[in-house]
Structures are given as C-alpha cells and as structure tokens.
Amino acid sequence: MQIKDLPYDDPGRPDARSGARLLRWLGRGQLGGQLRALGWGMLHRGGVALLPVVVGSAVQAVTDGSGGRLAGAGAMLAVLALAVTLGDTMLHRQSVSNWITAAARIQQVLARRAARLGAGLTRKVAAGEVVAVSTGDVEKIGWCVESTSRFTSSVLAAFGVCGALLVYEPQLGLLAAGGLCCLALAVLPLLPLATRRAGRQRELAGHATELAADTVAGLRVLRGIGGEELFLGRYRDASQRVRTAAVRTARMWALIETVQVALPGLLLVGVVWYGTHAVLAGALSVGRLVTVYGLVTYLLMPLRDFQEFAMAYSFSRPSAARAARVLALERAEGDTGEGGVREPPAGELHDPASGLRAPEGMFTAVVCDDPDAAGHLAERLGGHPPAPDGEPSVLLGGVPLDALPREAARRAVLVQDKDPSLLSGTLAALLDVPSSGAVEPYEALRAAECADVLTALARSSPECGGDPMAAHLTERGRSLSGGQRQRLALARSLLTDPDVLVLDEPTSAVDAHTEARIAAGLEGLRKGRTTVVLTTSPLLLDRAERVALLVDGRVRAVGDHARLLRTEPAYRSVVARGAPDTGSRTPISPARDDERGDGQEQEAAV
C-alpha cells in the first residue's frame, strides 16, 4: 500500500481484544511494506557494516605498500557509498510510508466505528478521549510500526557482524559479542519501568486532552455561570500532573541513554586496549585492528535502534490500548444487514414500553412530565440504543427496529436530538445529506424560518459573493446563536425527508413569533408524513393532529391540545406552567431567556 493509494478501500476488521493484539493486527496488515523496509534496511545496514572491512583493507594496503589493493579498496568504498545512500534513502521513504499508512488504517477503522456507534459513542466514551485517540495515539502507534522494520534489520545485521567477528578474529569477536550481550541485559530491566511511566504519562495526557476538549465545547455555558476560573484551575492541575509524569519518564529514558553511552564506551576502550597490545606483540595486524574497531563501533548503531524501538513500543502500548477500547465498543443490534438491506417498512410507529403510538402520515406531538424522559424516548424511537434484553423493541409497521439492518432503520427513522451538531464547512456542504429528493434545500430552509440566518451568513462571509450557500460555518456553528443553529439543524432534518421524523424540542431556543412560523412550516412540509415532536410548546402542540401525554414513562392520555388542556391537570401543569385555563385555543407559554435573546438577534439581522 502506497500513500497515493490512501484511503483503504477496506481497512479490515481490527483485533481490538487488547492493545498488543491491535499492534500485531496492524503489523500483519503492513507485512508487504515491512518486508520492503526490511530489505532496504539490510542493504543500508549491510553496507555500513562492510565499510570497516574495506577501510581496514585499505589501511593494510598502505602498510604493505600495495597500490593495486589500495585502488581496489577505493573502488569498493565507492560502491558501498552508493549502496548505503540508496538503502538509507529508500529505507526512510518506505518507513515513512509505513507510518502514514498505518496511521491512516487506524484512523479509518476508528471513523467507521464512530459512524457505526453514532450518537451512542459519546455515551460510552468521552468525546475528548476519542479526539486524543484519533490524533496523538494514532501518531504513537504509527511510530511503533515505522520503527519495527529498522529495528529488525539492525538486529539481523548485528548478529551477522558478531558472527563475522568470531570467525575473523575470535578473541576480539568474543569480547565484542559478550560486551553487546551485557549492554542489552543492562538495559532490559529498565524497560518495564520506562513503559509503565510512559503509560502513566499518556493516560494523564489523555485526561488533560479530554478536559480541554470538553471545556472548549462548553465555553459559552461556563462563561454564563462564571465557571471559567474553576475549569482553568482544573486544567492547570491536570497539566501539572502531565508535566510531572513527563519529567519522570524523561529521567528514566535519560538513565537508559546514559547506560547505552557509557557501557559501549567502556567496550570500545577494552577492544582498543586489547587490540593494541596484540598489535605490539605481533599477533594482530594494524589493518585487522582497524577492521575490528570499525565493526565494534558499528554495533552501537543497533543499540540506538533498539532504544528507539523500545521507546516507540513503550509509548504505543498505552495508545494502542486506548484505541482498542474504542474499537471494541459495539452497537448491539439484532441484524447487521446480512443477506442484503431490506426496504424499511411502512406503518405506525409504536413503542410498547411507553404505549406511545404515532399513526402513519400524522403529526403526533408528545408531552413528557420529565424532560430527560423525553430525550430517552426520542432515542428509543430511533433505535438509539437498541432495546436491552427483556424490553420490547420499538415497532415500525409491526416490524421491530432492532430486527432491521442498520441502514434500513436509519433510512426509516431520523431522530434530531436537543443538541444537534453542525460540522464546519459551507452551508451547501451542511445540507449535502442523503435525502429522498422530494424537498429542495431552500424549501427546507424556508420551513425552518432560516431567512435571517441566510442573511447573517452572507454578511459574515464576504468571500461567498452574496450566496449564503457558499458561506462558511465555523466548527459546531459557534459563530451562530443557539436559535440559529437549531433552525439550520431542523432544515437539514427536513431536507432528508425521512419516512418517520422524530424531533426533540426543535424550537426550544427561538422566540415565540419564530416558533409559530416554524410550527406552520413544519405542518405544511410534513403533511402526510409521519412526524413525532417531543415538546411542551403550545404553538407546536396546537398544530399537532394527535397529542400524547406521558407521565412516569407511560402514556396517560391521548387527544388534541385543546381537549387535553381542559381535561388533564398534569398536561396543563406542564404545558401552561400551571396557569388556569383561559379557554383560548393556543395559550402562549412565558418567554424563556434564550427565546428573548434569539428574538433580539433576529431583529438585528432583519
């Protein structure tokens, strides 16, 4: 796999049982690239290892006064220089390719897992952890994959050099091989502690990243309640813990580095001392001493590669474990789509757990005595998450949603929750969603009362040339007010034109006048389509063809808005805030703070 071929058509199914298994799965998927890198590494390391042999031959030729042998050694040096250059260049190129393709594979499987889990992802794991895994952890995992081939080629070359030394000069070769083993054994006991410290640092860094991401996401709320200093103090404490852990990790790696510098130096001193005495005694030629010294010096290169691989593996293990935890998350569902995607059924939407029924083609409103219960009901109506064991699934046309393939269930029922997300990009990209084609973008925007939003976007984006569809939205639509974001999300949902549309408080952040127009637009655009709106707004309830009251999670009464106001005190207390019945068809609830704010913004926009 080359970088130009990314992304993968099929990144495969990861082994997420543990971090180590995930790394092995990734290594198997990179086998071709690893073998190519190993080949280029052997060319580079082998060429470097042969340099001392040729240099020793050249020195001996000078000592013996042989011009022919010196010329031959020079020609061999030129060939080795070309081989080393080619090997080093291609090894670096292939190693970087392995790094990037491994990171891309992990990112793809993470993205697929996130898409599979949908809204259930952030219920199982913090959003900040997902960000940390898909950025920093992916880089650490790629580093481990990239360093594997270089480490393997260095180990093979080191064994070859040690074997050649034992044959070429047995006594010095035995000294060098024994010293190399002692160096490795001196470092090995330190690696587990370094790994644990690196894992602790990564864990604390991930927590700090989660805290920062969650704080930024809720910055407006924090400012509203004056909580900036509190969360700043929390992040400062988390950051200091990361710094302390990083210093402890650095100290351990500094100790390992010290061992790998001091002990090889002692080994070289021993080799030179022994070799010099052998030359003076006439038992060893100068050329052979130069060759042995060069080969022993070369053996320090595998030690550096060993240290790098140990560090990469130490940092990648906790990162791989975190990635494996995310990839191991499953969306429990009855049918994953084997045998093909069936067409979604038509008919009534029925929730046996609450007794709620939404007849096909009708505008049904639902009033819950508990706002949290309304959110859970909206999720259940869309099959997010599927019903647990022992609890009946929501039925669509008599067919359990849990028994439908995921693609069919998503086509059949669309749920818009209280806090829909807007991705950064142009408005046209935001509205570029799978749809039936029966609803045009401007038609959906008009029904959601987005005229002032379009005007504001066109004014705030001079580069769009007056076309609001080319206007740029910031991340999560933070440049817009809460009501503007809510209306754009509603327009996007209306544009998809699903068979069943479930809206959870779609007008909670707009003023009463805008809400009335949205209610009329929603009723007109969804005429003859199954629509379920969970709300306590009298303006929406008055437009509904059917209203259901849920108390303690069960349907208590069904009727129209006016009749329930007259006959159900519980309904009246939720919808009219306990106000006495005035006999009017559409009592207006007291304006909320966010309604007044959004109304002022609309007046300013107009």
3-state SS, one letter per residue, for 523-567: HHHCCCCEEEEECCCHHHHHHCCEEEEEECCEEEEEECHHHHHHH
127 shares a domain with 196: yes
154 shares a domain with 237: yes
322 shares a domain with 354: no
301 shares a domain with 170: yes
For 65-81, write each residue's pLDDT tens digit: 888 888 988 898 899 99
Q: 116: which 2 tokens?
A: 């599979």
pLDDT at 126: 66
Which strand ranges, in their side-by-side order, compose the sheet holding 395-396? Answer: 356-358, 349-351, 395-396, 399-400
Give the three-class secondary structure for 445. Answer: helix
CA 150 to chain centre: 28
369 shares a domain with 320: no
pLDDT of 584 strictly over 50: no
Average pLDDT over residues 190-208: 77
Residue from 438, 413, 433 nearest 423 by CA: 433
- Residues 517/336, Cβ–Cβ less than 8 Å: no
**Strand-pair partners of 472:** 426
Q: How far apart are CA 399 and CA 276, in angstroms?
A: 89
pLDDT at 383: 75
Confidence class of residue 85 from pLDDT cuts 50, 70 and 90?
A: very high
pLDDT of 368 strictly over 60: yes
pLDDT at 444: 93
160 shares a domain with 277: yes
For 378-395, write each residue's pLDDT tens digit: 888 887 666 555 577 889
Say how many residues make up the chain: 606
pLDDT of 363 strictly over 90: yes
pLDDT of 117 strictly over 60: yes
Name the average pLDDT for the chain. Answer: 81
Q: How far apart are CA 520 and CA 516, in angstroms?
A: 6
For 463-478, write each residue's pLDDT tens digit: 887 888 898 887 777 7
Confidence class of residue 82 from pLDDT cuts 50, 70 and 90?
A: very high
Residue from 589, 533, 591, 489 nearest 368 by CA: 533
Average pLDDT over residues 110-134: 74
Q: Which CATH number covers residue 369? A: 3.40.50.300
pLDDT at 482: 82
Cβ atoms within 10 Å of 280's Cβ, excluding its own: 9
pLDDT at 543: 93
In a domain, 443, yes or no: no
Average pLDDT over residues 414-441: 86
Q: Domain ends where: 260, 294, 327?
A: 327
In a domain, 427, yes or no: no
For 402-412, write each residue's pLDDT tens digit: 778 777 888 88
pLDDT at 55: 83
Q: Spell out the alpha helix ranges (H) of 370-450.
A: 371-381, 406-412, 427-430, 441-447
392 shares a domain with 315: no
Give the three-class secondary structure for 186. Answer: helix
Q: Which CATH number covers residue 246? A: 1.20.1560.10
Q: How far apart are CA 178 and CA 254, in angstroms?
A: 24
Confidence class of residue 227 from pLDDT cuts 50, 70 and 90?
A: low
305 shares a domain with 191: yes
In a domain, 146, yes or no: yes
172 shares a domain with 311: yes
| Number of domains, the chain | 2
pLDDT of 418 strictly over 90: no
391 shares a domain with 301: no
- Residues 215/222, Cβ–Cβ less than 8 Å: yes
In a domain, 489, yes or no: no
Give the three-class secondary structure for 395. Answer: strand
In a domain, 430, yes or no: no
User: What's the domain range around 519?
Assistant: 349-419+498-605
In a domain, 457, yes or no: no
pLDDT at 263: 76
In a domain, 424, yes or no: no
Average pLDDT over residues 126-139: 74
pLDDT at 257: 78
Q: Domain ends where: 279, 295, 327?
A: 327
Q: How far apart are CA 550 and CA 547, in angstroms?
A: 10
Choice between 220 and 179, residue whose per-residue pLDDT is larger: 179
Find all residues with CB under 8 Å of 19, minimum gap 6, and list them: 317, 318, 319, 320, 321, 322, 323, 324
In a domain, 280, yes or no: yes
pTM of the model: 0.60
pLDDT at 275: 78
Q: 52: which 2 tokens?
A: 């001392």
Choice between 43 and 424, residue whose per-residue pLDDT is larger: 43
Residue from 308, 264, 272 nearest 289 by CA: 272
pLDDT at 595: 39
111 shares a domain with 235: yes
CA 467 to chain centre: 33
514 shares a domain with 411: yes
pLDDT at 579: 42
Q: How far apart are CA 195 and CA 315, in angstroms?
A: 7
Share of the chain above pLDDT 70, in %: 87
For 27-42, write each residue's pLDDT tens digit: 888 888 889 999 998 8
Share of the chain above pLDDT 90, in %: 20
